[in-house]
Chains A and B, each alone.
Chain A
Amino acid sequence: MGNNLNAWSEALSGFYLLGLPLGLVILAAIPLVFIALYSLTYGVYGERKISAFMQDRLGPMEVGKWGILQTIADILKLLQKEDIVPTSADKFLFVIGPGVLFVGSFLAYAVLPFSSAFIGASLNVGLFYAIGIVALEVVGILAAGWGSNNKWSLYGAVRSVAQIVSYEIPAAIALLCGAMMAGTLDMQKITLLQSGSLGFAHFFLFQSPIAWLPFIIYFIASLAEVNRAPFDIPEAESELVAGYFTEYSGMKFAVIFLAEYGSMFMVSAIISIVFLGGWNSPLPNIGSLALNDMTSGPIWGAFWMITKGFFFIFVHMWLRWTLPRLRVDQLMYLCWKVLTPFAFVSFVLTAIWEIYVP
């Protein structure tokens, strides 16, 4: 329980039981359990309650007090459902599609520093890896959409992939601005560079006058990458039934849902690490009142990291129930003619600021 960097994860990865590297398995299982728990509580139940609040209704109220057991009931229902594979579907691709999709959204958790003492793998190319690994998700979506052998599914898959591939460009350039400010791609080092006794004033968002531009660009592009409203044209229910997962039911549907919530937390965590200091406490030390020192440490770090991630997920939900859906051509217009040029502008301005100003 030391305060050294990566103390917990290094202790875990050195843990062997009967000669088997059990610690490595536990290390990988912790984010997995986190995704499951968070999407069960905050993801499904929270989203239903928040959407109900935004639309001035009550949301789930029947099962348990304030409907808190509703999600458990849903899970029980999903588990009992018959596992239907359509006759005309491509059996193999239909089955592996959700799996590849979930693995794609889960792989990026390897480089997310959940706390100063916990990170799956402290790579020196962490940020680049987190951007690149999304490619696997794309292949999973294509497998699911093609394997379903359904027009709506294929259209949904093609739309989704076109969207993810296009929005990767402004997203990557915006994150590059953060990487330039840090001078490293190591996620743990990026976070470490933003710690200090002044709390939020050390965050990269407040360190340069241009940082808000890549911050906003990455936020918009990440919304599109996880197929959330107003960019949910791949699953536009009024046009495509449910997009690439039209044919899925039961646990396969649950896995696709889990993948969506997994990648939602992933992009929220990346934006908070690169621009908002990750596990650093935002509270400043005010004179003798050392608020920052009181709220720092490995456990507080995990708290801040998850809180920041949840805040961005809340904004995702908020936008979903506020903004109407974009059309396909508007989506591409926004990506190529608005976000990409502004991303380049912010890239050049950040470079100038980093070289000449401080």
Chain B
Amino acid sequence: MSNPTYTVIFYLFAAITVCSAAFVVFTRNVIYSAFSLLFTFFGVAALYVFLSADFIAVTQVVVYVGGILVLLLFGVMFTNSIMNAKPKSDVLHVVPGTVLLIGIIGAMLYTFYTTHGWMPSETTLQGSIVERIGFETMSRYVLPFEMVSILLLAALIGAAFLARFDKPGK
């Protein structure tokens, strides 16, 4: 990671992530906020790539950009008069907000300074990560995996039930 090219690219992506995330929070236009989220998600995916977590990076793009962001944009676009309505974005609760902010930043800095360096895993990375993820999902984590799939199936059936036409006789 000492290669200057990688360093430059890393800081570029870090800057994109931070700036677009700030834009999401500070802009008053909901649509711009949603589109700016795109760059945040891509920046985070790029940071995953720098951590050699290719699979998680691509999953991040598939789930957040392909799923959540598109859903968000659809929701915003189908809401009528989104451009005319003034979203309530005044600055409220200054004191509790500041206390919370300082607390979180303090906790993060404390962790950062008390944890010395990176903690390397006992097992070294060998070959493709995808296979390891597949094996672990299907062996050690098979129960949580199945529980999540049942939850998603229930959500899917619920959505289909809500969206269907009512029969005229009822």
Interface residues in chain A, defined as those with a beta carbon under 8 Å from any beta carbon in chain B: 19, 21, 24, 90, 92-93, 100, 123-125, 128-129, 131-136, 138-139, 142-143, 146, 154, 158, 161, 165, 168, 184-186
Instruction: Pick the contact of A158: B58, B61, B77 (CB < 8 A).
Output: B77
Q: Contact mask B48-74 → A, CB, 8 Å, 1/0?
A: 000000110011011001100110011
Q: Are B70 and A92 in contact (CB under 8 A)?
A: no
Closest chain A residue to B64, Cβ basis: A135
A-B contact pairs, 23 of them (CB 8 A): A19-B4, A93-B31, A125-B54, A128-B62, A128-B130, A129-B58, A131-B62, A132-B61, A132-B66, A135-B65, A135-B66, A136-B38, A136-B42, A139-B35, A139-B69, A139-B70, A139-B73, A142-B70, A142-B77, A143-B35, A146-B73, A154-B77, A185-B130
Please give, as numbers and ranges, the residues of chain A lying within 8 Å of B65 by CB-CB distance. 135-136, 139
Q: Contacts A135-B62, A139-B73 given; 18 further ones with Cβ under 8 A?
A: A92-B32, A100-B38, A124-B129, A125-B54, A125-B58, A128-B58, A132-B58, A132-B61, A135-B61, A136-B38, A136-B42, A139-B35, A139-B70, A154-B77, A165-B66, A185-B128, A185-B130, A186-B128
A139 touching B38 in the complex, CB below 8 Å, given contacts A24-B5, A168-B66: yes
Count of chain B residues with Cβ under 8 Å from any Cβ of A?
23
Instruction: Pick the contact of A161: B31, B61, B62, B70 (CB < 8 A).
Output: B70
CB distance from B61 to the nearest CB of A (A): 5
Please give, as numbers and ranges, the residues of chain A lying within 8 Å of B70 by CB-CB distance. 135, 138-139, 142, 161, 165
Q: Are A124 and B61 in contact (CB under 8 A)?
A: no
Q: Are B5 and A124 in contact (CB under 8 A)?
A: no
A132 touching B54 in the complex, CB below 8 Å, given contacts A24-B5, A139-B70, A161-B70: no
CB distance from A112 to the nearest CB of B (A): 15
Interface residues in chain B, defined as those with a beta carbon under 8 Å from any beta carbon in chain A: 4-5, 31-32, 35, 38, 42, 54-55, 58-59, 61-62, 65-66, 69-70, 73-74, 77, 128-130
Q: Are A21 and B5 in contact (CB under 8 A)?
A: yes
CB distance from A308 to the nearest CB of B (A): 25
CA distance A238 to B5 in the complex (A): 50
CA distance A288 to B32 in the complex (A): 66
Please give, as numbers and ranges, the residues of chain B lying within 8 Å of A143 by CB-CB distance. 35
CA distance A132 to B57 in the complex (A): 10
CA distance A185 to B58 in the complex (A): 12
CA distance A92 to B39 in the complex (A): 15
CA distance A186 to B42 in the complex (A): 22
Q: Are A90 and B5 in contact (CB under 8 A)?
A: no
Q: Are B66 and A134 in contact (CB under 8 A)?
A: yes
Please give, as numbers and ranges, the residues of chain B lying within 8 Å of A133 by CB-CB distance. 61
Q: Are B74 and A158 in contact (CB under 8 A)?
A: yes
A128 touching B77 in the complex, CB below 8 Å, given contacts A21-B5, A165-B70: no
Please give, as numbers and ranges, the residues of chain B lying within 8 Å of A131 by CB-CB distance. 62
A138 touching B128 in the complex, CB below 8 Å, given contacts A125-B54, A132-B61, A143-B35: no
A132 touching B35 in the complex, CB below 8 Å, given contacts A124-B54, A125-B130: no
CB distance from B48 to the nearest CB of A (A): 11
Q: Are A184 and B128 in contact (CB under 8 A)?
A: yes
CA distance A134 to B61 in the complex (A): 10
Please give, as numbers and ranges, the residues of chain B lying within 8 Å of A125 by CB-CB distance. 54-55, 58, 130
Please give, as numbers and ranges, the residues of chain A lying within 8 Å of B61 by CB-CB distance. 132-133, 135-136
CA distance A330 to B32 in the complex (A): 34
Please give, as numbers and ranges, the residues of chain B lying within 8 Å of A93 by CB-CB distance. 31, 35
CA distance A271 to B97 in the complex (A): 53
CA distance A90 to B76 in the complex (A): 15
Please give, as numbers and ranges, the residues of chain B lying within 8 Å of A19 by CB-CB distance. 4
CB distance from A312 to the nearest CB of B (A): 24
Please give, as numbers and ranges, the residues of chain A lying within 8 Å of B54 by CB-CB distance. 123-125, 129
CA distance A240 to B66 in the complex (A): 25
Please give, as numbers and ranges, the residues of chain A lying within 8 Å of B4 by CB-CB distance. 19
CB distance from A170 to the nearest CB of B (A): 15
Q: Are A142 and B73 in contact (CB under 8 A)?
A: yes
CB distance from A69 to the nearest CB of B (A): 40
CA distance A24 to B4 in the complex (A): 14
Please give, as numbers and ranges, the residues of chain B lying within 8 Å of A154 by CB-CB distance. 77
CA distance A40 to B131 in the complex (A): 41
CA distance A134 to B65 in the complex (A): 10
CA distance A168 to B65 in the complex (A): 14
CA distance A224 to B35 in the complex (A): 24
